[in-house]
Structure 1
Amino acid sequence: MSTTSLPVPDRAARLREALLAAEFTVDGLLDLLGAAAYAALARSETVPAFRATRGASRLDTLVRLFLLQDAVPVERARDALSLDEALADGWLVADAARETVEETGGVGAGGGAVRATVDVRPYGGPGGEDWFIVSDLGCAVGGAAGASGRGEGVVLGVGGASTTLAGLTVRTPAGSALDLGTGSGIQALHASQHATRVTATDLNPRALAFARLTLALSGAPEAELLEGSLFDPVGDRTYDLIVSNPPFVISPAGPDTAGARRTYRDGGMAGDDLCRTLVRQAGDHLEDGGFAHFLANWEHVEGEEWEDRLRSWVPRGCDAWIVQREVQDVTQYAELWLRDSGEHDSGDAERYARLYGAWLDEFDARGTRAVGFGWITLRKSASARPSIVVEDWPHPVEQPLGETVRAHFARQDYLRTHDDAALLAGRFTLAPEVVQEQVGLPGAEDPERVVLRQHRGMRRATEVDTVGAGFAGVCDGTLSAGRILDAIAQLVDEDPVALRDRTPESIRLLVGEGYLEPVADQ
C-alpha cells in the first residue's frame, strides 16, 4: 500500500479533461493495447501492455503512469497533463532515482521522472460514460492475489465481484441509495446515475477517500461519505436502494492468523455472521418497494439444509431471491484466500501450514463442510405471504441482470395475487428470448423431449410435455389460458376439465421462471 498522501479531488475535473483528451478510456485502451494485452491487464499481467506502450504518445504515457505504475520522464508527463497541478494535488510525485521497467522485465536507471501515487483505471458506464476507478497502487483489477502482501487497509479497484454486483442491481429511478462498504466507490458511482441522493459508507477511512476521488474524477455528483460498520453510520434512515459487496470472507480468528486478515475482505465476525447480520438488518432500512442487493458467502453446515439456512436470514416484510453461484469445499476455500493474502508464495512454509490448519480447525468446530457464494436480493413488499426463492444456479448467465431481477419480483407479485381461476382467465405471451428445442431420434414421429430455453438473462432451460409445449407456443396474448387449454384438450382428446385442473401448476412454473409474461388486464 502506498505510504504517500492521497490526492485531493479539488481539480479532478481538469485532470479528467486531460485523460479524455488523450483518449485514456476503455475504447482508447483497446485501440492502443489490443484485446489480448487489455485482457492480460485484468489478469494482473503487464508485459504485453509494456510492449504495446513503447511509443511517446500522451496515451502511452498515461497508461505507463496510472495502469503500469512506471516512472516516466518529466517532459512526457508534462505533455500528457497539467504536470504542476498533478504534482501539487498529489496524483503524481517526483521520482528522482528513476527506474523504468522495460517490456522485457529489465530495469534501467535515469533521472528527471515522475510516477503515480494511485491506480487510475478507465471504466465504461452502462450508458457509455467514461468513468475512472481510483484505487491503491497495483490494485486496479482486484480479485484473488490483487492485494497480496499489502497492508490490511488496502483499497482494491474493479474486480469480478464489483462488476457482478453492478450488473445485478435494479436501475430504476430512486430517491435515495446506500452503498454499504463502498471501497473504491464503484457502486456509488453507478447509483449516482439514477438516485437523487447517494450515501456511501465504509469502516476504512482510506476507502472513503478513494470513493471521493473516483466520483470526482468520473464527473459524478458528490456522495455523502460516512465512516462506520454495517448500518451504524446511517442510524435508522431508510433507502430506495441498498447495495453491498461486503467483506464476506469467512476467516478464522486467533493468534495463529495474526497479519493474515484484510479489512477489505474479512468482516471480523465468526463464520458467515456478517452476511447474515447485514441481510437481516437491511429490512429495517428499506423503503416500501425498495431493493437491496448483496454478494455473500454462506456456510454449508452439517445436518442443516443450506437453503433453509438462507431462508432464515430474510427479514420480515421482504421478498427474496437468493442464487448460489458456486460451492467450494473447505480446503479449496482456505487455499483461495491464503493465496489472496500472499501466504501461498511467502516462502514461509511453517506459517502457511499453521494458517491453513487454523482455517480447517475453525470449520471443523463450526461443522462447516463447504462454503457457498452467490447473490442475495431483497425487495420490501410488506406482503403477508412473502416470496422467498432460493436456488442453486452455477450455469452461465447474461449480464446485466438488473431488468431480469426486477421482472422476477414483478412476476412474484402477479403469482401471489392470482389464484388458479385467475391464472386460467389470464392471458400470456411467450417471452421473446425463448426458443423450443426438440430432442429425439432422426425420423421419429414424436420427439423424446421438448425443452424451452431462454437465450437471455438467466438462460434457463426446462423440459415440458406436449401440452406444455403446445400451450407456450400458442400464447400470443389474445386468448385466455383456459380457452387455449380447451382447444388443446379437443386436439389431444382429453377431458378439458381435468386438463384445466392440472395445468395451473405448470403455468405458475413457466411464469415464475420467466418463460411466459402475463398480459396486463385492460
Structure 2
Amino acid sequence: MSTTSPSAPLPAPDHSPRLRDALLAADFTVDGLLDLLGAPAYAALARSETVPALRATGGDTPLDTLVRLFLLQRPVPSERARAVLPLTQCLADGWLVTGGGAGGRTDNGPHNGPRNGPDGGTGPGEDGAYVRATVDVRPYGGPDGEDWFIVSDLGCAVGGASGASGHGEGVVLGVGGASTTLAGLTVRTPVDKALDVGTGSGIQALHAARHATRVTATDLNPRALECARLTLALSGAPTAELREGSLFEPVDGETYDLIVSNPPFVISPGARLTYRDGGMGGDDLCRTLVQETGDRLAHGGYAHFLANWQHVEGEEWQDRLRSWVPRGCDAWIVQREVQDVTRYAELWLRDSGDHQADPQAYAALYDAWLDEFEARSTKAVGFGWISLRKSGAERPSVLVEEWPHPVEQPLGDTVRAHFERQDYLRAHDDAALLTAHFALAPEVVQEQVGLPGAEDPEHVVLRQNRGMRRATKVDTVAAGFAGVCDGSLSAGRILDAIAQLMGEDPVLLRDRTPQAIRLLVEEGFLVPVAAAGS
C-alpha cells in the first residue's frame, strides 16, 4: 500500500458533492464492495490485507477502478479514471495526482496491454497517463443505511497492529474496531450540542450529525481536522465546527449534551505518535479527560469514552476508576480486556512497526516500555468503555465491572436504559418496589442446571439474548417471580401467591426478596411498567 507523509497537502472539499455522486453512481458503497469482492476479500481489507481484493478487481468496471484507486492505492490509467470521476476537478482539488508514484505500481487491467508491471501494467506514465489517489476514501455504512465515506491518510485506513505500521507522527487513521465500538455505545437521542474530542478522521462527528443540531469536533492535529472536514463533506453530512487544541482546551467554558472521545489512550514511555500516545504519564490522559467532563456536560447529558487504565500493585483497579468519576455524574465502566505489560508493549510496538526495525533498537524500545511500567508499579493494562450521565444525584450510581463476554452492538439503547434504571431504583425503596409492577424483559430465557434425572435443578439461570447478554443465577423464588411478571400484578401480590404455594410466611418472603428484585431490575432482566388503569 502507498503511504502519505503527514506534511502532504490534503484535498479541498469544494466539489465534494460531484465526487460523491460519482462514487455512488459506480456503487462504491459497502454493499457494492461486498458484491464485488465477496465477504472474505472484504474482511481481509479490514485487516489491511490487499491481495484478495487485487485478485477480485482485475476487470475494467467503474467499481474495479475506484477500488484500485482509493482502497488499494494503485495508479490507474487516466482514461479509466475519467470514465468514472470528474477527473479535472479531482486533480484540481487534490483528490488525485498524475503519475504512477514512488513504487511504480500501476494497473492496466488484466487484458489491456503488456503485462510488464507487477499488477499487469506497463509502469507509471510520465505524461500523466496514470493517476493515483492522495487519500484513502473508504465506504462506511451508517446506522440507517446511509452511504458515508471516511477520508484518511493513505495506508492508514485501519488502526491496530496491522494497519498503522511505521507511519509518522501526524498521520490520520481511518475507521478501526475501536471507532465502531464507540459509535455503537453512544446514546443516540436528539440533542442540541454534541462534542467529539480528538475527532481523527471524523467518524464520531459524522454519527453525531444525525441527531445533534450542532456538532463541534476538536483535535490536536490540524491534519485530522481537515480529514474530518472531508469525511463530512464527502458523506453529504452537515458541517461541524472544527477547533484545534488538546482535550477540552478549545471549548473552555462551554457545555454539551453529548460528548464522545476515542482518545490517544495508549500508555507508553513518551508521545511518539499523535494518533496513539497522549503525551501524559501512565493513564493520566484518560483520567483527565473523564474528570474534566463533569464541567462540560449539560444536565441529563451523556459522555462516552474508550480508555486504557493501569492495574497497579496494591490497588484495586475498580477503585482507581471510581476515583475518576466526576461529581454529579452516574457512571458505567466496563473492562473488556486485560493484558500483562509484556503483551501490551508488544502490541503497540508492532502497531508502530518497530518490530520490523533494527533488533537492537526494538529491544531498547521494549526495555523502555517495561521501565515505564516498573516505575509506575503497573502489572497489567485494562481496556474498556466509560459512559457518564450528568444526573446531579446526591447518591450517584457508579458501576465498575469486568465483562469480557460477547455483546450485541449497537449498545446505545442498552446504555440509556441502564441509566434510566438507576433513576428508577434511586426513587424506589424496598416498600415501593413491592407495590410496583414489572414485566420480564424481551429475549430473556431460563435455563435449569442439574444432574440428569434429578427431580429439582441445582440452580436456575436467567439469560439475556440481546444487549450485554448477561446471565444471572437465581433461586426458585426469584425464578418463579420473574416467570410470572407480565405487568398485571404488583410485586407484593406475586410474592404472596408464591408464599402460599411454597408454604412460606408471606411477611418473611416480602422482607427478603426486594434485594433480588432490585438486582434483576438493575441488570435489565425486569422492566418496570405502569399498572393497568394508572
- TM-score between the two structures when normalised by the length of structure 2: 0.95
Percent of pairs with identical residues: 78
Instruction: Map residues 150-189 of structure 1 onto 2, 5 A cutoff.
Output: 150-189=167-206
1:356 aligns with 2:373: no
* 2:349 aligned residue (333, 338, 363): 338
Alignment partner for residue 319 of structure 2, among 284, 302, 308?
308
1:51 corresponding residue in structure 2:
55
Secondary structure of 2:239's aligned partner: coil
Query: Residue by residue, what CA displacement relative to the aligned partner does 1:251-270 show, whole Å, maximum 9, x if unpaired?
Result: 013xxxxxx82100100000
What's the offset of the Cα at 1:229? 0.3
Q: Measure how far apart 1:235 and its partner are.
A: 1.0
Q: Secondary structure at the match of 2:232?
A: helix
Per-residue deviation at 1:23?
A: 0.1
What SS class does the counterpart of residue 93 from structure 1 fall into?
strand
Matched, 1:391 2:401: yes
- CA spacing shift, 1:96–1:60, aligned 2, 3 Å: closer
Q: What CA distance in whole angstroms lies between the structure 1 residues aligned with 2:228 and 2:208? A: 13
Say which SS state the counterpart of residue 355 (structure 2) adopts: coil
In the alignment, does 2:429 pair up with 1:419?
Answer: yes
Q: Conserved in 1, the CA contact under 8 Å of 2:195 and 2:259?
A: yes
Q: Deviations over 1:416-442 (max 9, x none)?
A: 110000000100000011000111233
- SS of equivalent residue, structure 2 residue 392: coil
**Partner of 2:105: helix, strand, or coil?**
strand
Aligned counterpart in structure 2 of residue 202 of structure 1, from 207, 215, 219: 219
**Residue of structure 2 aligned with 1:218, choices 222, 235, 240:** 235
Aligned residue number for residue 514 of structure 1 = 524
Matched, 1:125 2:138: no
Map of 1:405 onto structure 2: 415
Report the Cα distance in structure 1 between the residues aligned to 2:350 and 2:371, rounded to whole angstroms. Answer: 18
Query: How far apart are the structure 1 equivalents of 2:212 and 2:412?
Result: 15
Task: Give, in whole Å, the separation in 2 of the partners of 1:297 and 1:173.
Answer: 29
CA contact (8 A) 1:427 1:477 kept: yes
What aligned pairs does 1:238-387 form with structure 2 within 5 A after superposition?
Answer: 238-253=255-270, 261-346=272-357, 348-387=358-397
CA distance in 1 between partners of 2:485 and 2:59 (Å): 60
2:122 aligns with 109
Pick aligned residue for 1:490 from 500, 504, 519: 500
Distance 1:185 1:274 in 2: 20
Q: What is the deviation of 1:124?
A: 0.2
Aligned to 1:241, the other structure's residue is in SS state strand
Report what 1:16 is aligned to.
20
Where does residue 94 of structure 1 map in the other structure?
98
Q: Is the 8 A contact 1:430 1:476 kept in 2?
A: yes
* 1:457-500, Cα deviation, whole Å (9 max, x unpaired): 00000111111110000000000000000000011111111111
User: Within 1, Cα distance between the matches of 2:273 and 2:485?
Assistant: 53
Any idea what the Cα deviations from partners look like across 1:243-295, whole Å, max 9, x if unmatched? Answer: 00000000013xxxxxx821001000000000000000000000000000000
**More displaced 10-residue stretch of structure 1: 2-11 or 274-283:** 2-11
Could you tell me which amino acid in structure 1 is paired with residue 64 of structure 2?
D
Structure-to-structure mapping, 1:432-451, within 5 angstroms = 432-451=442-461
What amino acid sits opposite 1:462 in the alignment? T
- Say whether the 8 Å CA contact 1:77–1:114 is kept in structure 2: yes
Q: CA deviation at 1:444?
A: 2.2
* Number of equivalenced pairs: 515
Note the C-alpha offset of 1:96: 5.3
Report the alpha carbon displacement of residue 386 of structure 1 after superposing the two structures with TM. 0.2
**Distance between the aligned counterparts of 1:37 and 1:473, measured in 2?**
46
- Alignment-derived partner of residue 4 in structure 2: 2
Q: Distance in 1 between matches of 2:39 and 2:132?
A: 26
One-letter amino acid of the counterpart of residue 336, structure 2: R
Residue 40 (1) aligns with residue 35 (2): no
Query: Structure 1, residues 97-146: CA drift from partner, whole Å, max 9, x if none?
Result: 75326999935433211000000000000000000000000111222232
Provide the rounded CA distance (Å) in 1 between the counterparts of 2:431 and 2:344: 49
Please identify, of 107-116 and 305-314, the stretch whose mean Cα deviation from structure 2 is larger: 107-116
Amino acid at match of 1:11: H
Quickly say closer, same or farther: Cα 1:96–1:497, change in 2 above 3 A.
closer
Distance 1:26 1:141 in 2: 15
| Aligned partner letter, 1:52 | A
Q: Distance in 1 between matches of 2:161 and 2:397?
A: 35
CA distance in 2, matches of 1:344, 1:520: 60
User: Shift of residue 310 of structure 1?
Assistant: 0.3
Q: What whole-Å deviation, never above 9, does each CA across 1:9-49 have from its counterpart, x for those lacking one?
A: 01100000000000000000000000110011111111110
1:128-143 alignment runs, 5 A limit: 128-143=145-160
Paired residues for 1:224-239 under 5 Å: 224-239=241-256
Matched residue type, 1:447: P
- Offset of residue 361 of structure 1: 0.7
Tell whether the 8 Å contact from 1:330 to 1:368 is kept in structure 2 after alignment. Answer: yes
Code of the aligned partner of 2:365: L
Could you tell me which runs of 5 or more consecutive residues in structure 2 were left unpaired when the two chains were aligned: none
> Is the partner of 1:327 in helix, strand or coil?
strand
CA contact (8 A) 2:184 2:412 kept: yes
Distance (Å, rounded) in 2 between the aligned partners of 1:365 and 1:515: 44
How far 1:390 sits from its partner (Å)?
Answer: 0.3
| Structure 1, 97-106 or 290-299: larger mean CA deviation | 97-106
Partner Cα separation in structure 2 for residue 84 and residue 56 of structure 1: 20
Q: How many Å separate the matches in 1 of 2:43 and 2:154?
A: 19
Given residue 2 of structure 1, which amino acid in structure 2 is its aligned partner?
T
Distance in 2 (alpha carbons) for counterparts of 1:510 and 1:370? 32
8 Å contact from structure 1 (residues 147, 154) kept in 2: no
2:122 alignment partner AA: A
Structure 1 letter corresponding to 2:303: A
Mapped partners of 2:248, 2:59: distance in 1: 49
CA–CA distance in structure 2, aligned partners of residues 221 and 313 of structure 1: 34
CA contact (8 A) 2:75 2:100 kept: no
